[in-house]
Amino acid sequence: MLNSVSPPYKICFVASSFFPAVVYGGPTFSNLSLCENIQSENFRIQVLTTNANVKSKLDVSTRINHKRKEYLSIKYFDETIIGRFSFDFFRNGNKYFMDCHLIHCVDLFSTMFLRTLYSRNAKNTIILISPRGGFAKWGLLKRQKIKHLWIRKFVSKHLDRIKFLATAEKEKNEIQDVLPNAEVSVIPNGIRNLSDKEIQNFKRKKTCFIEKYELDIKEGQFIISSLGRMHKKKGFSILIDAIRRLDFEFALVLAGPEGPETKRLLESIAKPNMDGVYILNNLATEDKNILLSFSDVFALPSFDENFGNVYLEALNLGTAIVASTNTPWREVSNFNSGLWVDNTPKAFANAIAEIRNKPNKFTTANCLKHAAKYSTEITNRMIKDLYKKLILSQTVNQKT
């Protein structure tokens, strides 16, 4: 039973991994951004996570509760089996749920979620789940039987206290296809809109970027960029096949953390007639923004995205996008900020060519206008309103 329903509210944010574990890609930055933007005098955020970093452990202390911002603290628990289980969290996590008004969990299929669900101090607290694409067909393919059993045993029976937060209507539909009675709110990821001065500053660093990464890019050459972990899901092989169809001079820059597709992609660009294609390692935020700012188009033929932060990051720097129909970016056609097409080589090649041939249609201004829709000022307010609504609703339920 909560002792108080008036601010400040204590929010426990549960994640199996957290910043600076950037090797996990977009979700790491999304989770950090959300926590940093929401933390305030009225919303005290306590992150409960582990030191997992794929095959290694983060160099962070697991003995203290790290204070990152005035109202944002991060407790890293030691991961016993990396990516699977933290005995430290099972043994010591319960106390952090004391007087917690709401739990926001971003790892449904994890032992951290399971421990949270059955924590003694959290038994009456609503758990808000951000599936991060976990209900998409692509996400359910891996360990499909186990995941459906997990949902049946640990989720469907607790829908009175488990609620969902989707980043797009696409994701909401995917959740309710599996759990028709689930309560799902839709709030997109947000982004801090950049000023024109900031964007121009990134653009001015183009030459430094090209020299730093030793790219043979000529002045005036059409530049295509793409970002993401080197995984089949991102569809980079489709993009490489697509550029073979282009009949104009271009440069393609792919960048992202290594993954199972890295070796195959490197082999594919080593073939004849693949000059002007570059694969870089994961870029720091500054370099990523520089690349996106001077790109003529950002193209990613992903097989699935619950949201796709990187599309928004490109728009926020004034760069038109080509997104696949497996993503929720259909609305680019409403803003003339890009194209939403099938993730086939032909469709992507045609879309890239169209954006090159119609600069007066796919303008920087249109892209920035589209990005403004996702301003953190708007999305932060929506998240806070949802948090408050769920906190007050569980208080009413407890009284009745």
Tell me the domain boundaries of the chain: 9-190+376-399, 196-372
Q: What is the mean pLDDT of residues 280-291?
A: 95
Closest by Cα among 125, 294, 152, 172 to 221: 294
- Check for a shared fold between 9-190+376-399 and 196-372: yes
Q: 253: which strand partners?
A: 225, 278
Q: Render pLDDT for 40-62 as a digit per residue (tens, 0 to 9).
A: 999 999 999 999 998 899 999 99
Determine contact, residues 325/342, Cβ cutoff 8 Å. yes
Going by pLDDT thresholds of 50, 70 and 90, the confidence category of residue 275 is confident
Residue 400 has pLDDT above 60, yes or no: no
Order of strands, edge to edge, in the sheet holding 43-50? 65-69, 72-77, 43-50, 9-14, 102-105, 127-129, 162-166, 184-186
pLDDT at 177: 96
CB-based burial, 4-42: b 16+ in 10 Å, e otherwise: eeeeebbbbbbbbbbbebbbbbbbbbbbbbbbebbbbee
Assign domain 9-190+376-399 to a CATH class. Answer: alpha beta
Closest by Cα among 150, 166, 169, 146 to 158: 150
Mean pLDDT estimate for the chain: 94
Residue 1 has pLDDT above 80, yes or no: no
Q: Render pLDDT for 15-30 as a digit per residue (tens, 0 to 9).
A: 999 999 988 877 898 8
Among 3.40.50.720, 3.40.190.10, 3.40.50.2000, 1.25.40.10, what is the CATH number of 196-372?
A: 3.40.50.2000
Closest by Cα among 123, 142, 131 to 175: 131
Tokens of 225: 């960029």
DSSP E strand stretches across 8-62: 9-14, 43-50, 52-53, 56-57
Q: Render pLDDT for 76-97 as a digit per residue (tens, 0 to 9).
A: 999 999 999 999 999 999 999 9
Could you give the angle at the alpha carbon of 343 between the alpha carbons of 356 and 298, nearest 5°?
40
